[in-house]
Chain A
């Protein structure tokens, strides 16, 4: 195995163009497990830990650009107000050690439907900026990033550079269901984001389909009820039945299978429960924070 160590993004992209077979490594929390289990024997790896451009967190207008090499721990510490849901998702990753090493770029690159940050990134409409030395940069919506399990939309000469995270325009929630209290791959996970400016709701569903799914009907249902009932302006309590219906629609949007971690039936059920709870948490939080200003 060749071990390549670029010190700049342009050098890294040149190496990736020359060695399209090379697997990038950043935190190593996924790749090293695969190597250890003999599931991967990359012919070359590109160590991105010395590429400073990937470590930046930049605030530009209504977005935060999070470098692909930023570990979960930094996200939790630095993005609490701009991306609260992403922080919640980052907090659910593995253990303190894994959160210190694992990165947002890695979570995308592994392209697992169980990637903990991905449902929330889909819910908020985040995009991944990728680059090649030949064709320059392009943005891929996170919802389109995974093509099928462990396969992404990345071309063989491309690297993930950073993620455009729209700053929160309303309450966000992320939750996951696993059979123990830490260090667990989710049986199902769910991200929710209110966009109070656009008067819209975004969702993301993890571990319940070959890719990260969203629930457009559920989103539309909430937006419609909120418009009809005037909740966008009044911040009144959730009308009866909205959360439950939202949960049902999220459950229907899922496309789960039976596997070693859970059954399809349970996944659908868990997503309904989690979505209904998340909607209540998010809306109640919004009502708490706006109480003073609207009174």
Chain B
């Protein structure tokens, strides 16, 4: 059964949230939610909210066990070097040191990886990036562990690092991974005619720096050695089951001897998809037979996870004089760094979404990801779509300028809609309101934003630079820019993507209780709350609780790809429905009536077809609990063929648009984003308050990428591994965000939902870049935009 209704064409199923944000009140909800308190569609309060605000929430770095040891990691100071020798004797002899382990001590497979097993648990023979793990230490206290790590003497023979991805794949560079030519993946998409010309042509080259997820809770966790020779791992991660597979392989243990429980996660954004300390702490725990905790420092954290792929993009757009796209040619080069991580999937996305949410009959797309000796890159919010959005949106502005058209009009003219065909040949089968999103941000009210003249200073804090007192209005120019973007929700290209939920309805001391058990990671996005809301809505018979996530239940897939509300939400809904069905079976049997027509009402009573109350309390039906565990799958996807990239690779698409208003101090190249208007189709606003948080958070990631967030890598070395020099927006850098939230339900998705986490991080960055171009006339082709780029017109 489904309660998804089709969109009523006569009403506008969206609502605009003015800034400052006011309580969400959908004028015309597409799918009216049922009247269950705290149910789907309400801003139900999250159980972790108050503890987090009060500083009482236990994060993975707060774990503690009696007799616990502390781990530390020896890391390579070189981006590329031969390991000549490793001398652990001094470290081992230090007081309080209980273990010093190297690659030879890895009990099982010595390499791991999400897509390819190519990353050493501990490097031997060669290190391929700055910060690669070489040895691990366990000691009685963290300081001793760190000192012992410093005392491990690794003798290196430095090699010339390959740091330019273009050189890496040129054929002239030595191979970092044998037989690859340093090409991790080359995605080719050939759509329509390949030799086609057009009267109006614009070309451009664009570049994106390496962004970091910059979560606040560093990599951390604790491992307890099990009595069975296995391990119990408590860790902040995004996908426990894939962690488990990799850890078991590296430890040489069967999977059932690796038990993982999710510890408190302080943000993820893709950075916790790959392993960090899981195998290391497990090795130390098994070796010492003691609990071992590892907590990365802030600096180490910058070396402990993958980053967003830097990208170099070449575009050529051909259009008619009227502004219809004729063709797009794209070459995207991504720097994947030293190991594969999820690079192949990122390259797939960068290819499929490279022309943006537009209709174009012909496209030639090459998306290439290279191995280099730079830090490994992998998953980060937006996953490949973020990089190309900078390119396709800059190109649309450039084309509009050449045609003398309004940039929004040009976008609307070419906007994808339901039924459009992707460059992969896939038909977009669910609503694709690109035009509506663009119109919404274009027509969003402009905040009252006075242009401050030189002699009329009211408050410098409103100006670029703020209290730094760098302008009183001199050279300050206003600009407005637009961006729209899209990406897929859920895993693509034929991946068997599913989630599992176990729902138990049982009799508690005070009546029925619904407990939900799944292995999906709550990474701060609010999934626990969503699952509680679903359970309340589908089984409104008593309080709903969500049990700690662990591997004692089937896989939920990763908390990534904006997929968990769809997938684990879908799994919870499905299992709840099956529990409800069993409950009604029992009711029918208990009272001795026919099953047909019975339903569970929102007030928890069981009613008959005439809406009469059959049973007002289901407790008596629960002498034995009802428990259902099922897997939930989305529609099947298919691989892209290797030569032409054709195939129905994606499940669902999610769209967002932004309008940025900026002030730029053109004299100093300092930018202040004043206001972001955004519009997003969310299918169904499951929890409006959390939704607003996702949109604001994604927008802030986009602000950071546009203006300041970059891991600077020179010669393969990371130069700014700290929050002193890796800058993320502060509250004073964040603009107001006004939102138009559309609820065009996807009939295939539970409640009509569409993933919401990533789209805001895609369109925000190009909108800001466009606004800076508008303000200054400088052809901004690279983000983050540096003051130099504006001042010297890069």
Contact = CB atoms under 8 A, between A and B. Distances in A.
B733 A182 contact: yes
Given A38-B299, A180-B732, 11 more contacts: A91-B467, A92-B468, A178-B465, A180-B730, A180-B733, A181-B730, A181-B733, A183-B730, A185-B724, A261-B725, A266-B792
A173 B469 contact: yes
B732 A181 contact: yes
A52 B6 CA distance: 73
B212 to A, nearest CB: 14
A139 to B, nearest CB: 29
Interface in B658-701: 667-670, 672
B708 A179 contact: yes
Interface string B716-732: 00011010110101111
Interface in B253-296: none
A36 to B, nearest CB: 7
Nearest to A184: B727
A260 B733 contact: no
Contacts of B672: 181
A108 interface: no
27 contacts: A33-B724, A36-B297, A36-B298, A37-B298, A37-B299, A92-B467, A175-B465, A176-B470, A177-B468, A177-B668, A177-B670, A177-B787, A179-B670, A180-B732, A180-B733, A181-B466, A182-B466, A182-B731, A182-B732, A187-B787, A263-B788, A265-B792, A273-B668, A274-B668, A277-B470, A277-B471, A281-B472
Interface of B: 146, 297-299, 464-472, 474-475, 667-670, 672, 707-708, 712, 719-720, 722, 724-725, 727, 729-733, 786-788, 791-792
Contacts of B720: 260
Contacts of B707: 179-180
B668 to A, nearest CB: 6
A175 B665 CA distance: 14
Contacts of B712: 260
Contacts of A177: 465, 468, 470, 668, 670, 787
Interface string A256-267: 000011110110
Contacts of A122: none
A1 B684 CA distance: 57
B465 A266 contact: no
B467 A174 contact: no
A37 B733 contact: no
A95 B792 CA distance: 30
A266 B299 contact: no
A186 B474 CA distance: 20
A180 B729 CA distance: 7
Interface in A162-194: 173-187
A95 B733 CA distance: 13
A270 interface: yes
Contacts, number: 100
B641 to A, nearest CB: 45
Given A38-B146, A181-B730, A175 B788 contact: no
Interface residues of A, number: 35
Contact of B667 (A92, A173, A176, A273): A273
Interface in A267-287: 269-270, 273-274, 277, 281
B662 to A, nearest CB: 13
B217 to A, nearest CB: 16
Nearest to B714: A260
A255 B788 CA distance: 18
Contacts of B146: 38
A40 B83 CA distance: 29
B793 to A, nearest CB: 12
Contacts of B469: 88, 91-92, 173-176
A185 B468 CA distance: 11
Nearest to A95: B730
A281 B472 CA distance: 8
B576 to A, nearest CB: 46
A266 B468 contact: no
Contacts of A186: 468
Interface in A142-158: none
A226 to B, nearest CB: 22
A262 B792 CA distance: 13
A93 to B, nearest CB: 10
Nearest to B785: A179
A87 to B, nearest CB: 11
Nearest to A176: B468
A271 to B, nearest CB: 10
Contact of A180 (B472, B667, B727): B727
A281 B460 CA distance: 13
Nearest to B729: A180
A175 B725 contact: no
B303 to A, nearest CB: 13
B474 A37 contact: no
Contacts of B786: 179
A175 B730 CA distance: 19
A260 B719 contact: yes
Contacts of A184: 468, 727
Interface-central residue, B299, B469, B667, B733, by most chain A CB under 10 Å: B469
